[in-house]
């Protein structure tokens, strides 16, 4: 794997004796890394630093260059009103923000949980030998291949309260007594978003888990067969521990994705406080409300929250990115 | 203890028939070796006995009871796989104990006792808390054998257990398996290999398979001395038996005559046949001389000690007349 190739020379630098070959490898590795590092610095590093900088200023959309440093004011400040009353202002005491944080976390945890479970089920099915497996594998990827904007629009029509096919089906089958505005009702908006996201990304999860499943040698299942291990026990005692590394990496990919969810919610449930996530709220403040600095502060906090959650996950889950412990 | 009987066993994968009607009896406590070239169906036959594959037709009996549909775990068998098939995420101890912990009615102390006894037998006790990836190939194979012993099976199945080991380790492990059989003489063992040396050294009886059919069953010496066909004669014994056809065979009223390298002597002159030396191999204790004498493959003569024949030398040879095997046009022996 690529990580191994890069890890070897780095590990070797700790030693005192470096062979010519090792030095050559280290030099080559640096040259190969350089273009990627430059690209990352330009498209990710610089915008990130700019956002963090703006979050400490009073920048607005029509006065970005004239922004002045105001310190932590966007995050937290104490305001003394003329009447003498004290008011706390800033992002850290903004109820809308914490609502968005809560929505994001709820969305991420629920969607990733269901995607992992369903993805595992799909992967186990696809790992079995049956006729037409290749076609099924390709077909199952379709939801993932459709651009999110397209699938979100498609679902929003299907979920439409007046003309949507789901309401029509529900009424005809007697499951619904009246038409439901799935995406517009506060109680069902989050469920609707979750269903669409799970539908869309389960295939991705399934494919990553399938790759892990195919690494598990077949003969140990035969050994288990002779040991008399019940199929359910085989799954929990053999399959699950062995695909755990792949599963953990798949979950972290999805978690990162889910925590910054934007497009699906922006199209499916625009402007609903029941589903508004950190990314949606940040964009709204940045561009719609012309609170550029405030939106930047949100982006910065979003970045911090994702970073902390990821680090905690990697640390607690002992995730290894080198393909597991075999 | 179990005897195994196979009655007209057939196995087909789709349209391809791999086992084409095998009748065989494996006696209680016997060490039976299935041997044959790759693709002869020996591993498939073992997997049919283990229950990992379903039988297409025929009957399989353990101790007189039909087990065609019985699950592998209920047949009282243990199997050692070519690839070891250890659970990679479990320690050696867990690998060996896994089957027992899932079976009901085994106390923790009993399991520990059985694992430790097996580990002592195979001298792997110091590795019990290691993971398989921390062991060498030979150690892994011992763990696989240990896992099988821990199950206390009636029938022990080996599927080419030595083929992933290097030559020196193969000999050492072969001896250990032979010792294992001696110490567990109540256990029936079936062993699959393509290596006729393993078959000769380990087996009580050998079953030679060819194209999904039994070619011959017998003790190693029976097969060596009285092969039932040209195929068995050529497969058993090292170096391979020499086959001579044409006029030289006609002198013996046979289509083909076979003579082993150890049953030919080199004589100064006046020998029955003569040939040109094309190659010699000195192994120290013995040596092989390869002769070109118009046969399909060069004739090999085995000599005690070293020799100093050179390529191009013409030598006269005399076969031991009573050791000549005569075969008819169908490859069957003329007795």
With CB atoms and an 8 Å threshold, state whether A223 touches B79.
yes
Would you call the peptide bond into A202 cis, given omega within 30 degrees of 0 as the criterion?
no
Distance from CA of A235 to the nearest CA of B (A): 13
Average pLDDT of span A178-189: 87
Domain presence at residue B333: no
Residues A26 and A143 in one domain: no
Comparing C-alpha atoms, which of A102, A101, A122 is closest to residue A250? Answer: A122
Domain presence at residue B129: yes
A140-to-A11, A47, A135 alpha-carbon distances in Å: 41, 36, 9
Residues A145 and A268 in one domain: yes
Residue A77 β-bridge partners: A89
Residues B226 and B261 in one domain: no
Spatial neighbors of A118 by CB under 8 A, at least 6 apart, are: A198, A202, A205, A206
Backbone phi, then psi, for B165, in 5-degree steps?
-105, 160
Question: How many structural domains are present in chain B?
Answer: 2
The B314-319 sheet, strands edge to edge: B264-267, B314-319, B273-282, B286-292, B299-304
Question: Residue A16: which pLDDT band, with cuts at 50, 70 and 90?
Answer: low
Domain presence at residue B291: yes
Cα B173 from Cα A114, distance rounded (Å): 50
What ipTM score was computed for the predicted complex, to two decimals? Answer: 0.84
Task: Evaluate if residue B26 carries a pLDDT over 60.
Answer: yes
Residues A197 and A301 in one domain: yes
Residues B217 and B291 in one domain: no
With CB atoms and an 8 Å threshold, state whether B88 touches A229.
no
Residues A101 and A229 in one domain: yes
Domain presence at residue B60: yes
Domain presence at residue B201: yes
Q: Among partner residues B50, B89, B98, which is closest to A227 by beta-carbon distance?
A: B98
Domain presence at residue A308: yes
Domain presence at residue A54: no
Burial of residue B271 (CB within 10 Å: 0-12, 13-18, 19+) is: middle
pLDDT in the model for residue A65: 81
Domain presence at residue A191: yes
Q: What is the CATH number of the domain that holds A263?
A: 1.10.3720.10
Residues A22 and A144 in one domain: no
- 3-state secondary structure (DSSP) of residue B331: coil
With CB atoms and an 8 Å threshold, state whether B87 touches A219.
no
Percent of chain A with pLDDT over 70: 93
Distance from CA of A209 to the nearest CA of B (A): 18
Closest alpha carbon within chain B to A244: B89
Residues B68 and B38 in one domain: yes
Residues in B touching A228 (Cβ below 8 Å): 71-74, 99, 102-103
Residues B314 and B173 in one domain: no
Q: Among partner residues A217, A224, A325, which is closest to B83 by beta-carbon distance?
A: A217
Q: pLDDT (tens digit, 9 = 90+) per residue, B285-309?
A: 999 999 998 888 899 999 998 888 9
- 3-state secondary structure (DSSP) of residue B86: coil
Q: What is the CATH number of the domain that holds B86?
A: 3.40.50.300
Domain presence at residue A53: no
Residues B127 and B263 in one domain: no
The B205-210 sheet, strands edge to edge: B77-80, B155-159, B188-193, B31-35, B205-210, B213-218
With CB atoms and an 8 Å threshold, state whether A229 touches B85.
no
Average pLDDT of span A106-126: 95
Domain presence at residue A58: no
Residues B13 and B139 in one domain: yes
Distance from CA of B210 to the nearest CA of A (A): 25
In chain B, at which residue ranges do the beta strands (DSSP E only) sit?
Answer: 4-13, 16-26, 31-35, 57-62, 65-66, 77-80, 155-159, 188-193, 205-210, 213-218, 242-245, 256-259, 264-267, 273-282, 286-292, 299-304, 314-319, 325-327
Task: Evaluate if residue B268 carries a pLDDT over 90.
Answer: no
Strand bridging mode B16-26 / B65-66? unpaired
Question: How many structural domains are present in chain A?
Answer: 2
Instruction: Indicate the DSSP class of residue B333.
Output: B
> Which range is least confidently modeled, A1-5, A82-86, B57-61?
A1-5
Cα B276 from Cα B289, distance rounded (Å): 10
Length of chain A (residues): 326
Task: Evaluate if residue A11 carries a pLDDT over 50.
Answer: no
Q: pLDDT (tens digit, 9 = 90+) per residue, A236-272?
A: 999 999 999 889 989 998 999 999 999 999 999 888 8
Question: Residue A15: which pLDDT band, with cuts at 50, 70 and 90?
Answer: low
pLDDT in the model for residue A59: 86
Average pLDDT of span A53-82: 86
Closest alpha carbon within chain B to A216: B88
B144 alpha-carbon distance from chain centroid: 19
Q: Among partner residues B85, B89, B151, which is closest to A222 by beta-carbon distance?
A: B85
Task: Evaluate if residue B24 carries a pLDDT over 90.
Answer: yes
Backbone phi, then psi, for B97, in 5-degree steps?
-90, -15
Residues B75 and B170 in one domain: yes
Query: Is A220 an 8 Å CB contact of chain B?
Result: yes
Q: What is the CATH number of the domain that holds B279?
A: 2.40.50.140
Q: pLDDT (tens digit, 9 = 90+) per residue, A139-176?
A: 888 999 999 999 999 999 999 888 889 999 999 998 88
Label each residue of chain A as H, E or C: CHHHHHHHHHHHCCCCCCCHHHHHHHHHHHHHHHHHHHHHHHHHHHHHHHHHHHCCECCECCECCCCCECHHHHCCEEEECCCCCEEEECHHHCHHHHHHHHHHHHHHHHHHHHHHHHHHHHHHHHHCCCCCHHHHHHHHCHHHHCCHHHHHHHHHHHCCCCCCHHHHHHHHHCCCCCCCCCCCCHHHHHHHHHHHHHHHHHHHHHHHHHHHHHHCCCHHHHHHHHHCCCHHHHHHHHHHHHHHHHHHHHHHHHHHHHHCCCHHHHHHCCCCCCCCCHHHHHHHHHHHCCCHHHHHHHHHHHHHHHHHHHHHHHHHCCCCCCCCCC
Pick the last residue of a domain from B234, B268, B288: B234
CA-CA-CA-CA torsion sign (B307, B313, B318, B320): positive
Residues B27 and B117 in one domain: yes
pLDDT in the model for residue A1: 38
Distance from CA of A79 to the nearest CA of B (A): 59
Please tell me the pTM assigned to this model: 0.79
Residues B168, B172, B176, CA angle at the centre, nearest 5°? Answer: 165
Domain presence at residue B131: yes
Question: Residue A13: which pLDDT band, with cuts at 50, 70 and 90?
Answer: very low
Domain presence at residue A115: yes
Pick the last residue of a domain from B183, B215, B234: B234
With CB atoms and an 8 Å threshold, state whether B102 touches A222.
no
Residue B112: how many other CB atoms lie within 10 Å? 15
Task: Evaluate if residue A4 carries a pLDDT over 70.
Answer: no
Spatial neighbors of B238 by CB under 8 A, at least 6 apart, are: B196, B197
Residues B220 and B267 in one domain: no
Residues A99 and A22 in one domain: no
Domain presence at residue A9: yes
- Domain range holding A37? 1-41
Closest alpha carbon within chain B to A220: B85
- Domain range holding B289? 240-327
Q: pLDDT (tens digit, 9 = 90+) per residue, A20-49?
A: 899 999 999 999 999 999 999 999 999 999
Residues in A touching B81 (Cβ below 8 Å): 219, 222-223
Residues B186 and B270 in one domain: no
Q: Residue A107 corresponds to which tokens in the numbers above?
A: 């969305």
Spatial neighbors of B248 by CB under 8 A, at least 6 apart, are: B257, B273
Q: pLDDT (tens digit, 9 = 90+) per residue, B43-69?
A: 999 999 999 999 999 999 999 999 999
Q: Among partner residues A222, A229, A242, which is closest to B102 by beta-carbon distance?
A: A229
Mean pLDDT of all residues belonging to chain B:
92
Task: Evaluate if residue B27 carries a pLDDT over 60.
Answer: yes
Helices vs strands, H then E, count in chain B: 9, 18
Percent of chain B with pLDDT over 90: 73
pLDDT in the model for residue B156: 93
Residues A101 and A4 in one domain: no
Residues B199 and B273 in one domain: no
With CB atoms and an 8 Å threshold, state whether A229 touches B98.
yes
Residues A31 and A152 in one domain: no
Domain presence at residue B332: no
Pick the last residue of a domain from B201, B234, B267: B234
Question: Residue A71: which pLDDT band, with cuts at 50, 70 and 90?
Answer: confident
Domain presence at residue A204: yes
Q: Which of A220, A222, A226, A228 to mutate to test the interface with B (most CBs of B within 10 A)?
A: A226
pLDDT in the model for residue A187: 86
Residues A160 and A301 in one domain: yes
Distance from CA of A139 to the nearest CA of B (A): 27
pLDDT in the model for residue B3: 92
Cα A58 from Cα A285, distance rounded (Å): 13
Question: Residue A132: which pLDDT band, with cuts at 50, 70 and 90?
Answer: confident
Cα B302 from Cα A19, distance rounded (Å): 51
Distance from CA of B294 to the nearest CA of A (A): 48
Task: Evaluate if residue A5 carries a pLDDT over 60.
Answer: no
Task: Evaluate if residue B217 carries a pLDDT over 90.
Answer: yes
Residues A27 and A113 in one domain: no
Average pLDDT of span A303-321: 87
Average pLDDT of span A62-91: 85
Residues B261 and B210 in one domain: no
Residues in A touching B133 (Cβ below 8 Å): 325-326
Closest alpha carbon within chain A to B85: A220
pLDDT in the model for residue A324: 47
Average pLDDT of span B72-98: 93
Residue B278: how many other CB atoms lie within 10 Å? 15
């Amino acid at each position: 794997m690529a990580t191994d190739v890069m890890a070897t020379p780095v590990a070797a630098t700790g030693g005192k004796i470096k062979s010519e070959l090792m030095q050559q490898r280290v030099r080559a590795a640096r040259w190969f890394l350089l273009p990627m590092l430059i690209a990352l610095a330009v498209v990710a590093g610089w915008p990130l630093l700019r956002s963090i900088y703006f979050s400490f200023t009073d920048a607005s959309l029509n006065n970005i260059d004239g922004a002045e440093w105001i310190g932590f004011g966007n995050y937290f400040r104490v305001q003394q009103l003329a009447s003498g009353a004290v008011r706390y202002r800033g992002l850290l005491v903004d109820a809308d923000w914490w609502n968005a944080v809560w929505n994001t976390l709820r969305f991420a945890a629920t969607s990733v949980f269901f995607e992992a479970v369903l993805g595992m089920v799909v992967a186990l099915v696809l790992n079995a030998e049956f006729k037409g497996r290749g076609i099924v594998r390709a077909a199952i990827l379709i939801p993932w291949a459709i651009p999110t904007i397209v699938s979100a629009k498609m679902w929003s029509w299907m979920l439409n309260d007046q003309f949507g096919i789901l309401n029509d089906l529900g009424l005809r089958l007697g499951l619904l007594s009246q038409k439901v505005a799935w995406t517009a009702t506060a109680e069902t908006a989050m469920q609707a978003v979750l269903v669409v996201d799970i539908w869309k990304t389960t295939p991705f999860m399934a494919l990553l888990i399938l790759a892990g499943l195919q690494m598990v040698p077949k003969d140990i299942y035969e050994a288990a067969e002779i040991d008399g291990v019940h199929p359910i026990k085989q799954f929990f005692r053999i399959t699950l521990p062995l695909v755990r590394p792949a599963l953990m990496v798949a979950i972290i990919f999805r978690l990162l994705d889910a925590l910054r969810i934007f497009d699906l919610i922006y199209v499916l449930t625009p402007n609903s406080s029941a589903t508004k996530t950190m990314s949606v709220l940040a964009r709204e403040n940045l561009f719609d409300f012309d609170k550029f600095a405030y939106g930047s502060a949100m982006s910065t906090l979003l970045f911090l929250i994702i970073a902390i959650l990821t680090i905690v996950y990697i640390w607690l889950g002992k995730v290894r990115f080198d393909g597991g412990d075999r | 203890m179990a005897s195994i009987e196979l009655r007209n066993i057939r196995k087909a994968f789709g349209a391809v028939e791999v086992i084409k009607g095998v009748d065989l009896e494996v006696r209680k406590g016997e060490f039976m070796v299935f041997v044959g070239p790759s693709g002869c169906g020996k591993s498939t036959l073992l997997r049919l006995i283990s229950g990992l594959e379903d039988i297409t037709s025929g009957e399989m009996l353990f101790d007189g009871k039909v087990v065609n549909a019985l699950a592998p775990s209920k047949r009282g068998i243990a199997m050692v796989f070519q690839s070891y098939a250890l659970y990679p995420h479990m320690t050696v101890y867990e690998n060996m104990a896994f089957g027992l912990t899932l079976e009901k009615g085994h106390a923790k102390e009993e399991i520990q006792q059985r694992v430790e006894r097996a580990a002592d037998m195979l001298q792997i006790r110091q590795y019990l808390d290691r993971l398989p990836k921390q062991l060498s190939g030979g150690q892994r194979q011992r763990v696989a054998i240990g896992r099988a012993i821990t199950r206390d099976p009636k029938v022990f199945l080996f599927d080419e257990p030595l083929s992933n080991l290097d030559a020196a380790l193969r000999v050492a492990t072969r001896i250990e398996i032979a010792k294992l059989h001696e110490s567990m003489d109540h256990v029936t063992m079936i062993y699959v290999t393509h290596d006729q040396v393993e078959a000769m050294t380990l087996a009580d009886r050998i079953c030679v398979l060819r194209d999904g059919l039994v070619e011959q069953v017998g003790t190693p010496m029976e097969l060596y001395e009285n092969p039932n066909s040209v195929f068995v004669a050529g497969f058993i014994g090292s170096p391979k038996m020499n086959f001579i056809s044409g006029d030289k065979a006609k002198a013996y009223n046979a289509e083909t005559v076979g003579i082993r390298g150890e049953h030919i002597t080199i004589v100064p002159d006046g020998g029955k046949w003569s040939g040109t030396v094309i190659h010699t191999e000195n192994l120290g204790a013995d040596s092989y001389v390869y002769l070109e004498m118009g046969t399909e493959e060069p004739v090999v003569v085995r000599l005690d000690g070293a020799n100093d024949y050179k390529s191009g030398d013409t030598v006269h040879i005399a076969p031991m007349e009573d050791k000549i095997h005569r075969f008819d046009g169908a490859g069957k022996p003329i007795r």
